[in-house]
Structure 1
Amino acid sequence: MVIAVSDAAWVPGASEPVGRGSGAGPGHATGRVRAFLRLVVIEHSVFALPFAYIAALAASFADSRSVHWSDLALVTVAMVAARTFAMAANRVIDRAIDARNPRTANRELVTGVVSVRTAVVGAAVALAVFLTAAAALSWLCLLLAPVAVAPLVVYPYAKRFTDFPHAVLGIAQAVAPVGAWIAVTGEWSWAALVLGLAVGSWIGGFDVIYACQDAEVDRRIGVRAVPARFGVRAALIGSTVTHMITFALFIVYGLMDNAGPWWWAGLVLTAAAFCYEHAIVSPNDLSRVNRAFLTANGFVGIVLFLFAVVDLASRGLAV
């Protein structure tokens, strides 16, 4: 992948690019780090990370019935680094599109709060950290690392050549539980694959909801997505069907993993969260998309993780 790099980002309405900043010293450096963390929306790690933990803990249970803490720590580093790389690369690749969309025109690369050079360096550092963590886990993880990285790079380009970029995002997220299982055991797991497909369809489904708020702008500027191509009503129906598939996959995973009552209790709450998410968004009212996107889906990840941990502990997982 070749990314054109400049020292600054262009701000609409400005005669000169901005972005390097004139300050210096520790305070300026701290501000740049904070701006970069806002750029990559670091708090959104809550979506995929819990499911990598579920797979890693289930793998620990299958392997030795005790938590592999060192592997869990490296999985955490690898996951956060991979997501940071993906978000930074996404923002760099999409900065021209973001500048043309009123909803995203205030993002850090567009306004110049973060320079393109800083974002590219941050992405490169995050990628290096991810590869280092993969190597520390095992040579197999390092060899498989490109499989995890490829969809992360393809995703921001997908909206240029397919009406289903959400599926590419889903594939990128589905890798996490499979990778976490392999990181702990060094072996393939069909159960982890099912969990990965559940995570992928879940995230792809709510990405469709999120894209509904940009449907008209996307049509005007040529960005491809399900809402832009098929309309908001059809997109919301498609998202509902996708999340029904997600829920079915969570059930299949529980059966394959011989899950106990705590997992099934977590799924009851998950079903309620899905119903809430789809009830508060309609073709005529997209004002609560962010609540559906952040609150409901953050709840799903955290709740299923907590109930999975309690379930594994009740079945004999030792810390």
Structure 2
Amino acid sequence: MELTKLKKIRNKIFDYGTLVMFSHTIFSLSFALISMLIAGNNRLDFRTIFWIIVAFLGARTGANAINRVIDAKIDAKNPRTATRQLPQGLMKPKEVIVFSAACFAVMVFAAAKLNTICLVLSPIALFLMIIYSYTKRFTWACHIVLGVTSAAAPVGAWLAVTGKISWIPLVMGAANTVWVAGFDIIYGAQDYDFDTKNGIHSIPASFGVKNALLIARIFHAIALISLFIVGLLTPVLGTIYYIGLAVITVLFIIQHSMVSPDNLTNVKVASYNVNQVISIVFLITGLLDCLL
């Protein structure tokens, strides 16, 4: 009996991890941590680091959970997403909504523990995390809204440490925005047929796959330029950071060489797996330059 209960608990944890795509946490966590370290200038206390990470995880997990609920009917129609937990009935919408609300509550509590400005601005972050899920119903700019929502991580981390805004987190946020929007466009290219037939808005559906992939390349070029500017604005970043940017440039080239309008077989690897590596490279090289 105990073994059966443990198995159910394990399966439930796995389902929630898959539901919120926990392995993708690295995408914006790397930006948040580097922004935090730059803002702290190596003088961070454990309390601040702890609550920043708690706020980030609460926000990111809650956002992905509520997205699954809002998109459940669309996911059920799309053969690619019909196997997700909610369309299959493995989880109930109400339990996911409660889970998401709990995550958002954790985020707001963590924001309150950081400083007043983080608490005051937390409703804006919540609004972005919820409204994103609806944008594909009325605008091709949904990818950009997702990017802006992700950019709340580095900007929020900076505000948590300093209590004020500056150009560094704004430029880093811009880089995070176009980077995420770029690989989300690549990922969305595989749904071109489904989106056009069902009235789902996206850059591939609105401008065609060929133009969409070109826009993704432009976005990633802007991301690289923005990250280079961050290096120029930040005295603590130096040689190691720029070596990281060089590696990221190569990874971007590899990513875009893996997909074409005529061959979208490697879309998932190009948009997710390669960008997980990019996130890790950015985090490691940024950490080394900030801490050494």
TM-score range, shorter chain: over 0.9
User: Sequence identity of aligned pairs in percent?
Assistant: 38
**How far apart are 1:76 and its partner, in Å?**
1.1
**How far apart are 1:26 and its partner, in Å?**
5.1
Structure 2 matches for 1:1-319, cutoff 5 A?
Answer: 25=5, 27-61=7-41, 65-258=42-235, 259-314=237-292
Residue pair 2:39, 2:161 contacting (<8 A) in 1 also? yes
Partner of 1:8: none
> Deviation per CA, 1:115-169, whole angstroms, max 9, x where unpaired?
1111111101111111111111112211111121111111110001101200110
Q: Following the alignment from structure 1 to structure 2, what is the Cα–Cα distance between the partners of residues 102 and 47? A: 26
Q: Which one-letter code corresponds to 1:295 in the other structure? A: N
**How far apart are 1:25 and its partner, in Å?**
4.7
Which structure: larger Rg?
1
**How far apart are 1:33 and its partner, in Å?**
2.9
Q: Following the alignment from structure 1 to structure 2, what is the Cα–Cα distance between the partners of residues 68 and 177? A: 18
Q: Following the alignment from structure 1 to structure 2, what is the Cα–Cα distance between the partners of residues 162 and 284? A: 25
Q: Following the alignment from structure 1 to structure 2, what is the Cα–Cα distance between the partners of residues 267 and 28? A: 44
**How far apart are 1:96 and its partner, in Å?**
0.5
Q: Following the alignment from structure 1 to structure 2, what is the Cα–Cα distance between the partners of residues 30 and 312? A: 38
Residue pair 1:84, 1:126 contacting (<8 A) in 2 also? yes
**How far apart are 1:297 and its partner, in Å?**
0.5
Q: Following the alignment from structure 2 to structure 1, what is the Cα–Cα distance between the partners of residues 90 and 271? A: 25
Structure 2 unaligned runs (5+)?
none
Q: Following the alignment from structure 1 to structure 2, what is the Cα–Cα distance between the partners of residues 68 and 219? A: 50
Residue pair 2:78, 2:194 contacting (<8 A) in 1 also? yes
Q: Which one-letter code corresponds to 1:37 in the other structure? A: G
More helix by share: 2
Q: Aligned to 2:165, what secondary structure does the other structure show? A: coil
> Deviation per CA, 1:246-285, whole angstroms, max 9, x where unpaired?
1110111111113211111110001011101001111111
Q: Following the alignment from structure 1 to structure 2, what is the Cα–Cα distance between the partners of residues 73 and 281? A: 39
Q: Aligned to 2:79, what secondary structure does the other structure show? A: coil
Q: Which one-letter code corresponds to 2:145 in the other structure? A: V
Q: Which one-letter code corresponds to 2:27 in the other structure? A: F
Q: Following the alignment from structure 1 to structure 2, what is the Cα–Cα distance between the partners of residues 118 and 209? A: 31
Residue pair 2:183, 2:272 contacting (<8 A) in 1 also? no
Structure 1 unaligned runs (5+)?
1-23, 315-319
Q: Following the alignment from structure 2 to structure 1, what is the Cα–Cα distance between the partners of residues 173 and 53? A: 16
Residue pair 2:48, 2:114 contacting (<8 A) in 1 also? yes
TM-score (norm 1): 0.88
**How far apart are 1:228 and its partner, in Å?**
0.8
TM-score (norm 2): 0.96
Aligned length: 288
Residue pair 1:100, 1:221 contacting (<8 A) in 2 also? no
RMSD of the TM alignment (CA)?
Answer: 1.3
Residue pair 1:178, 1:189 contacting (<8 A) in 2 also? no
**How far apart are 1:184 and its partner, in Å?**
1.0
**How far apart are 1:294 and its partner, in Å?**
2.1
Q: Following the alignment from structure 1 to structure 2, what is the Cα–Cα distance between the partners of residues 73 and 196? A: 21
Q: Following the alignment from structure 1 to structure 2, what is the Cα–Cα distance between the partners of residues 38 and 280? A: 25
**How far apart are 1:75 and its partner, in Å?**
1.2
